[in-house]
Structure 1
Amino acid sequence: MTSKLDQLSQMTTVVADTGDIEAIRQWRPQDATTNPSLLLKAAAQEAYRPILEQSILWAQQQGGSAQEMLAHATDRLAVLIGQQILGLIPGVVSTEVDSRLSFDTQATISRAHKLIHLYEDVGIDPSRVLIKIASTWEGIRAAEVLERQGIRCNLTLLFSFTQAAACADAGAFLVSPFVGRILDWHLANSGRQEFAPDEDPGVLSVTRIYNYFKQHQYPTVVMGASFRNAGEIEMLSGCDRLTISPALLQTLSEDQGPLARRLSPDHAHSDDARLQLDEPGFRWGLNEDAMATEKLADGIRRFTADQITLEQQIRQFAQAA
């Protein structure tokens, strides 16, 4: 019997949820995804010091205000780490737009163009990059424009069916529902101590989204993310993609038990009618979901906090150099 990780890889595209080059080198996933939190961890490692130095030097050469140079440095750092990752994987890497732009459509579009140009500058074809954008109304509208321009997007911080339906209707290439953070909210607010994998609220949310997309023939890829345990991953086996931390990749690789397929486009069925949401409908649907409203806001705040911390580290490093 092969490991559960090997079995999963036969039915789902496995994505590494890390910016750690060594972890990616070890696991050799098809794709990889990063975010400000993962970049912050990576930048603290000695192995990334040369890349950090290159990013700061490049930013200083661009000129501008102190804040503009910090933005240049963090964007360049994200792209250089993405370039290294792409040297190890056959697929794509996701690179995130500054979360402080989550409610500004035009600024998100502009930053996405900048990231794509930075990748082109280091010899990376844009087809190997997904631009990660928070699943706000403004972010979804930005993705709609970018997709029409040939820039593929990964809509992240997705916690509700409303968000998912709007992303699919906008033609987003990929959505990343956050399984574990949904579970976190329900554990904190339900009075329960645990949920079995087959009743895990995050698992049920992704299953509903997957079946809806397949039922209505949306091409948007569903990539479950933010897992808390291997049981959640097993319940979503067969999902288009799953982005998994190195620790859980290790757990799955050590488990030799059988893994049944849970999701399949051939057996997908949804009772949800096809939705075409305008802005009031989207905002009302999100408002009616307390979990999604709270976790979306919390996620943006957390990514922003890590982005600011990363900028502070870059500033201190530049001053000490």
Structure 2
Amino acid sequence: MKFFLDTANVDEIRRINDLGLCDGVTTNPSLINKEGRDFKEVISEIASFVEGPISAEVTSYDYESMVKEARDLSKWADNIVVKIPMTEDGLRAINILSKEGVRTNCTLIFSLSQALMAMKAGASYVSPFMGRIDDMGEDGARLVYDIRTIIDTYGFDCEIIAASIRSIKNFEDAALAGAHIATVPGNLFEKLWSHVLTDQGIDKFKKDWEAFEGK
């Protein structure tokens, strides 16, 4: 499973990228807004040092504007993937863009039928929102599993980006369910490699070694 960072914070991305754990980045207007910087400037900077796909989301919602915006976004760097919302206009935009060779990430997926429609339209990626689905009292991991079954059964050229990852359990469930990718907030990454028993073990080794050196 590939790891994407769900953030527009360049420092967070550089930190995880230096560990060899950043296979790509997803952003959205809310994340860009938090950074208080120019949209194109942030995306271009991220794309300059992250080799994998960088998802940049359109801010328009009608078909013609989305297509126009997506064409412009795709020219910012070779690894740009355009995020398109799951709507009728979004599907129409994905269809035309896929025929032009523009890679798309259909976002805000909450059902199997939505994912299937996006894949049929030509989306390169689909993003089921696991955390939000769980909030609705449904099973986000099961949706990921079902989407993966559809991909494997029918041979769609599409990858699943497990989104809205809010906890270690969400992350692990995404892996078990067969997600190709999990996109993780920067503040969750450190929790993934940390464990209280690991910390206790290191402390014990340090104390034992200090005792040994003191003899």
Aligning the two structures, in what range does the TM-score lie when normalised by the shorter sequence? Answer: 0.7 to 0.9
1:225 Cα deviation from its structure 2 partner? 0.4
* 1:223/1:243 contact within 8 Å kept: yes
Q: Does the residue aligned with 2:165 lie in a helix, a strand or coil?
A: coil
What is the identity, as a one-letter code, of the residue corresponding to 1:180?
A: G
Higher relative contact order (CA 8 A, sep 6+): 1
4+ residue segments displaced more than 3 Å: none
Question: Mind listing any 5+ residue stretches in structure 1 that lack a counterpart?
Answer: 1-11, 44-51, 53-76, 187-199, 258-321
Contact 2:165 2:182 (C-alpha < 8 Å) held by counterparts: no
The reply on whether 1:34 has 2:23 as its aligned counterpart is no
Amino acid at match of 1:93: I
Equivalent residues in 2 for 1:266-281, closer than 5 Å: none
Deviation at 1:255, TM superposition (A): 4.0
- Which stretches in structure 2 are left out of the alignment for 5+ residues? 198-215
Amino acid at match of 2:57: E
State the alpha-carbon separation in 2 of the partners of residues 111 and 205 from structure 1: 30
- In the alignment, which of 251, 254, 261 is matched to residue 194 of structure 2? 254
Give the distance between the partners of 1:174 and 1:165, measured in 2 at CA. Answer: 11
- Equivalent residue letter for 1:18: T
Which amino acid counterpart does residue 167 of structure 1 have in structure 2?
A
Q: 2 CA distance for matches of 1:79 and 1:30? A: 20
Asked if the contact 1:24–1:88 (Cα under 8 Å) also holds between the matched residues in 2, the reply is no
- Matches of 1:255 and 1:219, distance apart in 2: 37
TM-score for the superposition, normalised by structure 2: 0.84
Deviation at residue 85 of structure 1 after TM alignment: 0.9
Higher fraction of helix: 1
Cα RMSD, aligned residues only? 1.6
SS in 1 for 2:136: helix
The aligned counterpart of 1:208 is: 146
- Conserved? CA contact 2:163–2:182, under 8 Å: yes
1:21 corresponds in structure 2 to: 10
Give, in whole Å, the separation in 2 of the partners of 1:107 and 1:143.
12
SS of structure 2 residue aligned to 1:132: strand
Distance in 2 separating the partners of 1:87 and 1:115: 15
- How far the C-alpha of 1:228 sits from its partner, in A, is 2.1
Contact 1:79 1:95 in 2 (8 A): no
Q: Which stretch has the larger CA shift, 22-31 or 83-92?
A: 83-92
SS at 1:207 equivalent: helix
In 1, are the aligned partners of 2:110 and 2:129 still within 8 Å (CA)?
Answer: yes
The one of 105, 125, 139 equivalent to 2:63 is 105
CA deviation map 1:166-207 (0-9, x unaligned):
011111101111001111122xxxxxxxxxxxxx61111111
Aligned-residue offset at 1:256: 9.3
- Residue 168 of structure 1 corresponds to which residue in structure 2? 119
Matching residue's letter, 1:39 = I
Q: TM-score, normalised by structure 1?
A: 0.57
Question: Is the Cα contact below 8 Å between 1:16 and 1:246 reproduced in 2?
Answer: yes
Deviation string for 1:262-297 (max 9, x for gaps)? Answer: xxxxxxxxxxxxxxxxxxxxxxxxxxxxxxxxxxxx
Give 1:231's aligned residue.
Answer: 169
Question: Using the alignment, how far apart are the partners of 1:88 and 1:109 within structure 2?
Answer: 27
Name the CA distance, whole Å, in 2 between partners of 1:255 and 1:130: 34
